[in-house]
Copies of this chain bind each other. A is one copy, B any other.
């Protein structure tokens, strides 16, 4: 029995070594193509500079759809198509105005309406300010303290989190749930400290979620500098605040997911999806959020094609529409997958900025699967510094797949997180803040993982 076992082992080991060598060579090819002939940077420049901010329902979002489709067609993928999706259509309107009323002094501050928020009356809102640091504190204060006031949510980012996304997660309830929570106690408006650790003067927008059990009251984000200034004044005496915003909710608009596909040679109806969201907030160019994500998805498909790779499964680069204020594109993509009887085995989302890659976060596989992922792929990704393979979240655009595909691997691309909330949802999310090599390395990391999943299964 010993000899055959050893021979079998040798065969297995030999086979494994050959596979590892083949994979290693393929990854090197992918990285060479992305770094030497990369098109991601020039594509991102076009999206940011020639189209710009592209909130769902806007003329710019439509331009981005048309540009994306044309670009994909130019790359000669097997299929390029659009998926219709009705999206919310919110507009900011004229630029917001706000100031602190400190006795007879008016101190102008930088602020912007939260996404999906309602407008103030045309003359704006003036009211006393009450500062709170959590939804729990708000509840403790109650209607007596809150009624008729502007509630100022001012809990800062906790700098102790190493991953900034964790700080965003714990501070974010103020923006998402704060306005409706305050409205229940009779507040007339809400201002929220911007969700960042950066001590600057950019207001950070982002969607707020009104609930049906409270009146919709105007809500805006204050820059961190403005929040600190207001809080300092409130420590010595009561102050009032004025703001005026002009946003409006229009009827839902027709828009699209944009999809490029290389059809699988063995399993044409089995899909691996990767990409990000095409829509962005309106304050800047949506460079890191999420221009880099869509561009990296596209580049991953272009790079795989350029290496001459013929996928076993169908590979799809998807530009999802409406992640920022509705997630409609992601929901539609999953619904249509089910309706069209597609089999989805994996999806990778890049929506944490185009920063230097760290690795990938796998949503929900058992420990055993994670061990196997780490065992098989960590060493291959290590030379590229993209070998942090952990259990965690994936991304809002691909999460809806879970409902129809409980066994699919949903994966989030993990760039380094330190600089993301310096630019996230601000007027500073511009092309100039994206580094060419960081962007390219991310595209190559995604292409590598797509190849490994396609070739070796997951």
| Chain A contact residues, CB within 8 Å of chain B | 31-32, 35-36, 159-160, 162, 164, 197-198, 356, 358, 383-385, 388, 416, 418-419, 422, 435-438, 441
Q: Name the CB-closest residue of B to A387.
A: B388
Q: Is the CB of A419 within 8 A of B441?
A: no
Give every chain B residue within 8 A of A437 (Cβ-Cβ). Answer: 159, 164, 197, 418-419
Give every chain B residue within 8 A of A385 (Cβ-Cβ). Answer: 162, 358, 388, 416
Given contacts A32-B160, A162-B384, A385-B416, 10 further A-B contacts (CB under 8 A): A31-B162, A35-B159, A36-B160, A159-B437, A162-B441, A197-B436, A198-B436, A356-B418, A419-B437, A419-B438
Give every chain B residue within 8 A of A356 (Cβ-Cβ). Answer: 356, 416, 418
- Give Cα A422–Cα B433 distance, bound, in whole angstroms: 13
Can you list 7 contacts pairing A with B, beta carbon distance less than 8 Å? A162-B385, A197-B436, A416-B416, A418-B437, A419-B435, A419-B438, A422-B435
Q: Name the CB-closest residue of B to A382.
A: B388
Give every chain B residue within 8 A of A162 (Cβ-Cβ). Answer: 31, 383-385, 441
The listed residue with most B CB atoms (<10 A of its CB), out of A159, A160, A197, A419, is A159
A103 to chain B, nearest CB (A): 32
The listed residue with most B CB atoms (<10 A of its CB), out of A35, A36, A383, is A35
Give every chain B residue within 8 A of A160 (Cβ-Cβ). Answer: 31-32, 35-36
- Give Cα A32–Cα B197 distance, bound, in whole angstroms: 15
Q: Is the CB of B159 within 8 A of A36?
A: yes
Give every chain B residue within 8 A of A441 (Cβ-Cβ). Answer: 162, 418
Give every chain B residue within 8 A of A164 (Cβ-Cβ). Answer: 437
- Give Cα A441–Cα B159 distance, bound, in whole angstroms: 11
- Give Cα A162–Cα B435 distance, bound, in whole angstroms: 14
Which 5 residue pairs across A and B have the least CB separation, nearest first? Answer: A35-B159, A418-B437, A356-B416, A356-B418, A418-B438
Copies of this chain assembled into the complex: 2
A85 to chain B, nearest CB (A): 36
A174 to chain B, nearest CB (A): 20
- Give Cα A35–Cα B166 distance, bound, in whole angstroms: 15
Give every chain B residue within 8 A of A35 (Cβ-Cβ). Answer: 159-160
- Give Cα A198–Cα B197 distance, bound, in whole angstroms: 29
The listed residue with most B CB atoms (<10 A of its CB), out of A435, A436, A441, is A436
Give every chain B residue within 8 A of A384 (Cβ-Cβ). Answer: 162
- Give Cα A356–Cα B197 distance, bound, in whole angstroms: 16
Q: Name the CB-closest residue of B to A439.
A: B418
Give every chain B residue within 8 A of A31 (Cβ-Cβ). Answer: 160, 162
- Give Cα A314–Cα B160 distance, bound, in whole angstroms: 28
Give every chain B residue within 8 A of A422 (Cβ-Cβ). Answer: 435
A414 to chain B, nearest CB (A): 10
A71 to chain B, nearest CB (A): 22
Give every chain B residue within 8 A of A435 (Cβ-Cβ). Answer: 418-419, 422
- Give Cα A41–Cα B283 distance, bound, in whole angstroms: 28
- Give Cα A346–Cα B212 distance, bound, in whole angstroms: 63
- Give Cα A256–Cα B441 distance, bound, in whole angstroms: 41
A115 to chain B, nearest CB (A): 26
Give every chain B residue within 8 A of A159 (Cβ-Cβ). Answer: 35-36, 437
Q: Name the CB-closest residue of B to A359.
A: B385
Give every chain B residue within 8 A of A197 (Cβ-Cβ). Answer: 436-437
- Give Cα A416–Cα B386 distance, bound, in whole angstroms: 12
Give every chain B residue within 8 A of A32 (Cβ-Cβ). Answer: 160
Give every chain B residue within 8 A of A418 (Cβ-Cβ). Answer: 356, 435, 437-438, 441
Give every chain B residue within 8 A of A416 (Cβ-Cβ). Answer: 356, 385, 416
- Give Cα A422–Cα B435 distance, bound, in whole angstroms: 9
The listed residue with most B CB atoms (<10 A of its CB), out of A36, A383, A419, is A419
Q: Name the CB-closest residue of B to A438.
A: B418
Q: Name the CB-closest residue of B to A422.
A: B435
- Give Cα A36–Cα B161 distance, bound, in whole angstroms: 10
- Give Cα A388–Cα B31 distance, bound, in whole angstroms: 21
Q: Name the CB-closest residue of B to A388.
A: B385
A172 to chain B, nearest CB (A): 18
The listed residue with most B CB atoms (<10 A of its CB), out of A36, A197, A356, A435, is A356
A39 to chain B, nearest CB (A): 14
